[in-house]
Amino acid sequence: MNHLPNLFSPLKIKTMELSNRAVMPPMGTNLGNADGTVSEANLAYLKRRARGGPGLIITEISAVHPSGVAINSELGAYDDRFIPGLKKLADVAQTAGCKVALQLHHAGRESLYLLKEGKAIAPSPIRSLVFGLTPREITRDEIQEIIAAFGAAALRAREAGFDAVEVHGAHGYLLTQFLSILCNQREDEYSGNLSNRSRFMVEVLQEVRRRVGRDFPVSLRLSVEECIKEGYSVEDMQSILPNLVKAGADLIHASLGTHGSPGGITSAPGEYEPGFNAWRAKKVKEVVDVPVIAVGRFSDPVLADEVISRGEADLVAFGRQFLADPDFLIKMREGRPQEIRKCIACNQGCIERLILGEGKIRCAINPETGQETVYPQGPAAVLRKVWIVGAGPAGLTAAYEAARLGHEVTLFEKEEKSGGQLRFACQPPFKTSYGEWGNWLTFQVKKMGVTIHTNKAVTDGLIEGGNPEAVILAMGGEKIIPEIEGIGLPLVCDAWQILSGEVVPQANAVVVGGGLIGMETADFLSQKGTQVTLVETLKRSPVLKITSHGYMLHTRLRDKNCKLLFNTVVKRIAESSVTILSGGEEQTLSPVDQVVIAVGLKPRDDWQHILQTKGIRCIIIGDARQPRRIIEATEEGAQAAWSL
């Protein structure tokens, strides 16, 4: 029985027949070879997602010209030498029964390494909002060269066996730069009013259509709203959309924003509701008669089916959800929605990892993503009796992976419930998905047959009687208690007591610590009506505004009049005041009803020496090794299990 008749219905676009309306949109992976050719990692990554059964996969960006390469490992489509690799990419998707489109891309000014080399081009020499460097103005001859390059790359895609191509006209890359008055201030026919600024995009589409023929499907990914002050709106775009369809677009992929838009809206964090952008897709449908793809934090197939049912879109893109759980469509079809691992929109592995230069794509809650070529399928060659101490993200992931590989796993948690830091991390505003993921992970661990003991501390006698062959220590970090005069007073508590509800928020609070724990605790308190002053010894916040959640967090605290005092030390805590040292001067904060210690955690190595003395293999992971983010916890948990 088809429970989602709209999402799982077929759709024909020109010669391309889709089996369903679920789309895996383009996502940068950094998995390509250094010369822009397709790697084995690219193929394994795409193959894994194709197995999940989306109707259409649109590949990550592929450069149409050397002047538009965003990163060295970006796939290339600007020379015939790329065709063999691209053919393999198309084959792995089609073998799994999916249709696949190659996305054609030119970065324009949004290429850091080309900007640094003085080679980046743009409509006008206006600095990049992302990188802060200025490109040179593209010449009229170069405009014609790039138009021809899009057409030639589209033809290569067709020759490589792709079912369609997608022209990337979104997110602040070259085609969007021409659309935007904020970065297109030329004095020729490619500038001026929006119709003129769209001329470049129109001519690209016309050339692509000319090269691939009338029956080959062409998608156009658009930021239908710029989401920058004084940028174009979706209502503005409605005036030119019919011209873009007439020029050759058979499908409109209705995204939004640029990489320079505030709040990381192109990869929306948890502050945005699932499906928040669907109304813009409907605005597109009002003026064109081609299918439209809705985009915007979709993780639930039921919501996607409703969006299509309401006529807001014809297809729905599930981006990060395909990283979190490539099999979510299969699980929905089989009536197992509770088993879907839903994306928590943390962006740690997919977006932040790339923008912070931390390497190739990952998923903070799915250790297989980006590691498909090394992910062990199991069972393990030697099956062992494994104990895991601590049921936080690291311990639960280790338990799941070890059980999946066939080991006999027992999990011990000294607290009443599993989840570790997730039990607190899910309490601040917009973070309920963290708790939902923790519950899902606990459910999966139990389903895998892991024996879980809660309210159970591991003792020397327990180890002697149980005789495990390996122990994975994931008992979390130890709270840091700073040496401050007056820290033992009744008005002092810690962040975990506040977030758990053990201590009730008061009217005027000082939060000591400006890391993520402190910032989110301040956010939690502000939401409860507390007037918050946050004190941090560092010169600036370690919570980076360049990240989506960091930007939103800073913005909320500013809007709630939370005082953020950096380069500041707490000297004394009194009954109703706090003395600080800021800028070399002592100041007194008053009145103060509550002081919340949120300095963070430090690693702990309980049991390591004892286990080594007993000759039992010991692996330390997660916060017990070094307090960090979810992604480090889950990666270390998985790798510990894989290494057994």
Is there a domain that residue 297 lies in? yes
Q: How far is the C-alpha of 255 from the C-alpha of 223, rounded, in Å?
A: 5
| HSE-up of residue 150 (Cα within 13 Å, Cβ side) | 31
573 and 592 share one domain:
yes
pLDDT digits (tens, 9 = 90+) for 125-169: 999 998 999 999 999 999 999 999 999 999 999 999 999 999 999
| HSE-up of residue 579 (Cα within 13 Å, Cβ side) | 11
pLDDT digits (tens, 9 = 90+) for 390-413: 999 999 999 999 999 999 999 999
609 and 595 share one domain:
no
179 and 71 share one domain:
yes
Which residue from 4, 160, 177 is spatially nearest to 88, judged by alpha carbons?
Answer: 160
Cβ neighbours, 10 Å, residue 461: 8
SS3 content of the chain, % helix, strand, coil (to 5): 35, 20, 45
Give me 103's structure tokens.
Answer: 């996305």
Is there a domain that residue 380 lies in? no
H/E run at residue 315: strand 315-317
pLDDT for 202 equals 98
pLDDT digits (tens, 9 = 90+) for 415-448: 999 999 999 999 999 999 999 999 999 999 999 9
User: Buried b / exposed e across 232-254, counting CB within 10 Å, b at 16+?
Assistant: bebebbeebbeebbebbbbbbbb
514 and 534 share one domain:
yes
Is there a domain that residue 372 lies in? no
The residue to which tokens 């489109």 are assigned: 101
Q: How far is the C-alpha of 282 from the C-alpha of 265, rounded, in Å?
A: 19
Q: Compute φ and ψ for 584, nearest 5 degrees.
A: 80, 0
Residue 450's domain comprises 385-477+603-642
Please check whether residue 93 is in contact with residue 157, taking contact to mean a CB–CB distance below 8 angstroms: no
Please check whether residue 510 is in contact with residue 518, taking contact to mean a CB–CB distance below 8 angstroms: no
255 forms beta bridges with 223
| HSE-up of residue 268 (Cα within 13 Å, Cβ side) | 21
pLDDT for 1 equals 41
Based on the residue annotation, tell me whether 173 is a catalytic residue of this protein.
Answer: yes
179 and 224 share one domain:
yes
pLDDT digits (tens, 9 = 90+) for 552-578: 999 999 999 999 999 999 999 999 999
User: What whole-number percentage of the chain has pLDDT above 70?
Assistant: 100
- The answer to whether residue 189 scores a pLDDT higher than 60 is yes
531 forms beta bridges with 508
Question: How sure is the predictor about 484, in pLDDT bands with cuts at 50, 70 and 90?
Answer: very high
Is there a domain that residue 377 lies in? no
258 forms beta bridges with 171
Query: 265 CB contacts (<8 Å, ≥6 apart)?
Result: 227, 256, 257, 272, 548
Q: How far is the C-alpha of 88 from the C-alpha of 160, rounded, in Å?
A: 8
Is there a domain that residue 378 lies in? no
Helix (H), strand (E), coil (C) string for 357-371? CCCCCCCCCCCCCCC
pLDDT for 2 equals 61
500 and 421 share one domain:
no
CATH number at residue 399: 3.40.50.720
589 and 608 share one domain:
no
pLDDT digits (tens, 9 = 90+) for 357-393: 778 999 999 999 999 999 999 899 999 999 999 999 9
H/E run at residue 316: strand 315-317
Please check whether residue 164 is in contact with residue 315, taking contact to mean a CB–CB distance below 8 angstroms: no
What single-letter amino acid sits at 357?
A: G
587 and 609 share one domain:
no
Please check whether residue 634 is in contact with residue 393, taking contact to mean a CB–CB distance below 8 angstroms: yes
pLDDT digits (tens, 9 = 90+) for 232-264: 999 999 999 999 999 999 999 999 999 888 877
458-459-463-466 Cα dihedral, nearest 10 degrees: -70
Give me 2's structure tokens.
Answer: 């088809």
pLDDT for 138 equals 98
**CA angle, 29 as apex, 81 and 627 as ends, to 5°?**
150
Please check whether residue 180 is in contact with residue 231, taking contact to mean a CB–CB distance below 8 angstroms: yes
618 and 585 share one domain:
no
Higher pLDDT, 357 or 174: 174
pLDDT for 240 equals 98
Domain count, the chain: 3
Give me 163's structure tokens.
Answer: 């079912």
Whether this prediction's pTM lies above 0.85 is answered by: yes
The residue to which tokens 């119709």 are assigned: 195
Is there a domain that residue 210 lies in? yes
Candidate list 45, 78, 113, 173, residue with the active-site label? 173
- The answer to whether residue 59 scores a pLDDT higher than 60 is yes
Task: Give Dmax over CA atoms of the chain in angstroms.
Answer: 82
Is there a domain that residue 473 lies in? yes
Q: How far is the C-alpha of 504 from the C-alpha of 208, rounded, in Å?
A: 62
Please check whether residue 268 is in contact with residue 548, taking contact to mean a CB–CB distance below 8 angstroms: yes
Mean pLDDT of the chain: 96
Which residue from 113, 207, 198 is spatially nearest to 153, judged by alpha carbons?
Answer: 207
Query: 38 CB contacts (<8 Å, ≥6 apart)?
Result: 32, 75, 82, 85, 86, 88, 89
Query: 587 CB contacts (<8 Å, ≥6 apart)?
Result: 579, 580, 581
What single-letter amino acid sits at 53?
A: G
CATH number at residue 195: 3.20.20.70
User: What whole-number percentage of the chain has pLDDT above 90?
Assistant: 92
517 forms beta bridges with none
Q: How far is the C-alpha of 60 from the C-alpha of 71, rounded, in Å?
A: 12
Q: How far is the CA of 153 from the CAs of 186, 257, 388, in angstroms?
A: 27, 25, 52
CATH number at residue 545: 3.50.50.60
543 and 412 share one domain:
no
What single-letter amino acid sits at 465?
A: G
Q: Where are the beta strands (DSSP E) in 443-598?
A: 451-454, 470-473, 478-479, 492-494, 508-512, 531-535, 563-565, 568-573, 578-582, 585-589, 594-597
Q: Compute φ and ψ for 451, nearest 5 degrees.
A: -85, 120
320 and 441 share one domain:
no
Is there a domain that residue 374 lies in? no
How close are the terminal C-alpha atoms of the chain, in Å? 42
The burial class, CB within 10 Å (0-12 / 13-18 / 19+), for 357 is exposed
122 and 236 share one domain:
yes
Give me 188's structure tokens.
Answer: 């020729």
- The answer to whether residue 520 scores a pLDDT higher than 50 is yes
Average pLDDT over residues 18-37: 97
3-state secondary structure of 292: strand
- The answer to whether residue 47 scores a pLDDT higher than 70 is yes
What single-letter amino acid sits at 285?
A: K
Q: How far is the C-alpha of 559 from the C-alpha of 551, rounded, in Å?
A: 12
